[in-house]
A and B are shown apart, each in its own frame.
Chain A
């Protein structure tokens, strides 16, 4: 008979395996690497500047913060270009080193470091772009434009959050934005009242949302396919009406009806950010409200708890008497309405008439923002602002004339989208039952 107890084979640990405790996995150096890429870009700009231009040391960059009438404004100021770029590059390099040390020690990198690195890089980039130019860098108007471009993205991302948290993938954001823009323009024009456009837009978006819910929940059609089909449908529909009805009777059907700017007293007088945030149309204030309300409702209300349960584990929700599919249908319609309202920004919100394909891919970037924001309203807000900023940066630099070709600048938001979604997010965890139809 063999011995009763056979001991566990005791061997010498190999490879990554430490002698004592549990085996630890490989460290991900994603963040330091991303920082290092920024350092490389900064250095390239620096070297390029040094090689190319005469008298680089005496060049300056001028910044401007004035934007419309304000009680108090910071006067334009100039900085020595090269010195500023060098200082900022050193800062980013230091931050990269610090991030490396933190990562190697398996500690988390604080949020402020991300913000600081981002700001330093943007400042260095602006200084480089405006070096030796007679034109100024309009800081406030750069930010104001960024916010404006972000508005439809933010509404779109909120729509995505509402739908996907309950388990319905909303690829149709693009179509909802476009239909919202169309409905807002037409209704505002017919009624010669821009605010009525704001009523029509969410209804139009909700109709698209209802179609999506009908196919996705009732008939359990693949949600991505139905979303793409809806986008195509809305594109065709609006283009058809645009080239027939709208083009022939522009004054009646597609007249410009801009929403007025509402200035919040006192708050709008804060230097730099005051006019950016608080000298806007009602649509922008509705956007603030949507993000705040959604953030609170999703995590603090009964509606939010049930929405999340339905998106994570629909069967568990069913067993406690929650009507899963009803909740999904209503959330998808609500999401459609939110995106539709966002679409109004393209027309009445910007004071423009409706134009063919005017949503121009914003719905897809909104979706990327939602993923980058990890399905959280505030996270999606930050991500959408990042995209809006990069887009407006391209615009502004295009007008003041930057050393970079304008085509490259126009690519900026999309390049940032790819990098952000691929690299920055890291491990994201969508709602567990996102896109999975529920039936008993």
Chain B
């Protein structure tokens, strides 16, 4: 089926999320929609899927204009969507999830789960998915949950499948499998709209690429374009993808974590973890989301409790100290979710910049705050960290994601630091802000501070880390030195395998034997070595 969008416009208040967007998806093609976070890709697809009413424009299927008042209508017309955050009920079985909304019913409105199961098995076998129809959704790994979403779409005879950032939650190996699946779907005649901001994936599988920037289509690109070309098209200026940094100059002091265990109920979410971060180096904790990184960061800050183990900073035990004590000692902490944990959204920018220091002599006397000093501090910090704002007294919620993150960094880096812990420091940021954040982190390292970053983005890990520790199911699978290249050093395939729990030595061996789809596409396109 051929899909055509003509002049789609969607406005949210003052924000024009989609500005007269035109897009043509030919039958059986994989069409990548490339753009930064907030460029309007997901909005466009939600319009197509009937979740949003467009403020202007037309949707045509096989050259016939159609309108979708709700998702149900889009599904009937043969459009399926796999959302970035899966639309699955955790306590349902696979068969129930697939049946929901389109339930096969027997006598008296009773569910015909047997036929729902049969359908799951049928589709599952056709594409080699290996999904058990009776498994509970919450017990399945994310990669399998995504397959359930695809089965859901296929079970309703989707001719056009929209995948919204499908690789965000996957390990590199799972990504490879997804790419294989996409190939099979394409061979079976399904058109795929693939939304992403990851350049590497686009080049590996897309037939055509449409780039969106600030709600507008800024151009089409061929999959043969280089990453730098795609990136400049996406951002609107030439960008430097690599982070400039000198080799690390590690010192003796730093953070030492040993035998650290954190429990959630009865399961160990951080399981006997040990590592050290020396002053003047960046240790990156890599891993797929939800493998204990969040808890590890929180226990270092002190908002989560350790069941066993020690955390020492320059020889001083941190466990047992209150969060405030740790911050005063010189711990800088960038939380992974800046909107809920990093800032108080309704507080002003100036107030957010002193959230951890309001009680010190510098900013208050007795019970009263020194508002003048707080304002001067804000002027100074926002200039230093290049926060684009209209007024320091506006609530932080008026800032874009990138600028809000700069506020967090400005606050956390304004004190003399002895340790910096940053979780997902660039999640959801535009390329310009990412460059800035990375520069600041490297600068902090060069000042001799031990820096620990937690990231699920392999690109970020590779760009920043001096050493990489991979976490899987609460344990550290292995720690690799970034300075070494070659089979034992940092290598995308090795890291990917480790993120799936394969021990370091085995991962090196396996990675030498096989090259991932992405990696080979990479090599083919650029003709350079993988590492």
Contacts and interface: CB of A to CB of B under 8 A. Distances in A.
Given A9-B274, A318-B71, A322-B101, A17 B92 contact: no
B9 interface: no
B502 interface: no
A1 interface: yes
A11 B308 CA distance: 12
A312 B89 contact: yes
B478 A305 contact: no
Interface string B85-97: 0111111100010
Contact of A300 (B72, B110, B265, B272): B110
Given A4-B489, A13-B272, A25-B263, A313 B484 contact: no
B480 A25 contact: no
Contacts of A7: 478-479
Contacts of B499: none
B90 A432 contact: yes
A305 B308 contact: no
Interface string B105-137: 100111100000000000000000000000000
Contacts of A69: none
A440 B70 CA distance: 11
A318 B87 CA distance: 9
Nearest to A431: B91
B390 interface: no
A17 B89 contact: no
Contact of B484 (A1, A10, A306): A1
Contacts of B89: 308-309, 312-313, 316-317
Contacts of B265: 25
Contact of A22 (B73, B96, B268, B276): B268
B430 interface: no
A5 B111 contact: no
A143 B310 CA distance: 58
A320 B49 CA distance: 10
Nearest to B86: A316
B90 A312 contact: yes
A4 B480 contact: yes
A305 B110 CA distance: 10
A303 B481 contact: no
Q: Is the interface of B mostly helix, strand, loop or mixed?
A: mixed
Contact of A5 (B91, B152, B480): B480
Contact of B261 (A2, A23, A317, A321): A23
A380 to B, nearest CB: 18
B367 to A, nearest CB: 32
Contacts of B49: 319
Nearest to A427: B265
B483 interface: yes
Contacts of B152: 320
B101 A11 contact: no
A5 B488 contact: yes
Interface in A4-51: 4-17, 22-26
Contacts of B268: 22-25
A320 B481 contact: no
Interface in A201-225: none
B51 interface: yes
A8 B498 CA distance: 14
Nearest to A2: B481
A318 B69 CA distance: 12
A319 B164 CA distance: 14
Contacts of B83: 319
Contacts of A134: none
Contacts of B72: 320-321
A224 B391 CA distance: 39
Contacts of B75: 320-321
B102 A320 contact: yes
A312 to B, nearest CB: 5
A16 B488 CA distance: 35
A302 B271 contact: no
A382 B41 CA distance: 51
A301 interface: yes
B308 A316 contact: no
Contact of B266 (A10, A26, A305): A26
B278 to A, nearest CB: 10
Given A17-B261, A305-B96, A11 B274 contact: yes
Interface residues of A, number: 43
Contacts of A319: 49, 51, 71, 81, 83, 87
Most chain A CB inside 10 Å of its own CB: which residue of B52, B91, B276, B504: B91
Contact of A11 (B100, B111, B259): B259
Contacts of B211: none
B280 to A, nearest CB: 13
B275 A313 contact: no
A244 interface: no
B90 A8 contact: no
B338 interface: no
B307 interface: yes
A403 B366 CA distance: 61
A5 B274 contact: no
A285 B301 CA distance: 59
A22 B101 contact: no
Given A5-B488, A300-B110, A317 B101 contact: yes
B103 A302 contact: yes
Given A23-B307, A300-B111, A301-B109, A4 B488 contact: yes
Nearest to A321: B72
B96 A14 contact: no
Contact of B479 (A6, A13, A309): A6
A108 interface: no
Interface in A293-342: 300-306, 308-309, 312-313, 315-322
Given A3-B481, A321-B70, A24 B266 contact: yes
Contacts of B96: 305
A324 to B, nearest CB: 11
Given A2-B481, A22-B268, A301-B109, A17 B101 contact: no
A340 B72 CA distance: 35
A23 B265 CA distance: 11
Interface in B271-319: 271-272, 274-276, 307-309
A6 B103 contact: no
Nearest to B266: A25
B189 to A, nearest CB: 23
A102 to B, nearest CB: 16
B99 interface: yes
B298 to A, nearest CB: 17
Contacts of A440: 51-52
A321 B99 CA distance: 12
Contacts of B99: 305
B164 to A, nearest CB: 11
Interface in B462-486: 467, 476, 478-481, 483-484
Contact of B103 (A2, A8, A305): A305
Most chain A CB inside 10 Å of its own CB: which residue of B51, B73, B266: B266
Contacts of A2: 481, 483
30 contacts: A3-B481, A5-B478, A7-B478, A9-B257, A10-B274, A13-B259, A13-B272, A14-B259, A15-B307, A16-B261, A16-B307, A17-B261, A22-B271, A23-B261, A25-B266, A25-B268, A301-B105, A301-B109, A303-B109, A305-B103, A306-B100, A313-B88, A316-B86, A316-B88, A317-B89, A318-B71, A319-B71, A320-B75, A320-B101, A321-B70
Given A9-B257, A316-B100, 17 more contacts: A5-B478, A5-B481, A6-B481, A14-B259, A17-B307, A23-B272, A301-B108, A302-B111, A306-B101, A309-B89, A316-B87, A316-B89, A319-B87, A320-B72, A320-B87, A321-B72, A440-B52
5 closest residue pairs by CB, A with B: A321-B72, A25-B266, A320-B101, A9-B274, A23-B268
Interface of B: 49, 51-52, 70-73, 75, 81, 83, 86-92, 96, 99-103, 105, 108-111, 152, 257-259, 261, 263, 265-268, 271-272, 274-276, 307-309, 467, 476, 478-481, 483-484, 488-489, 504
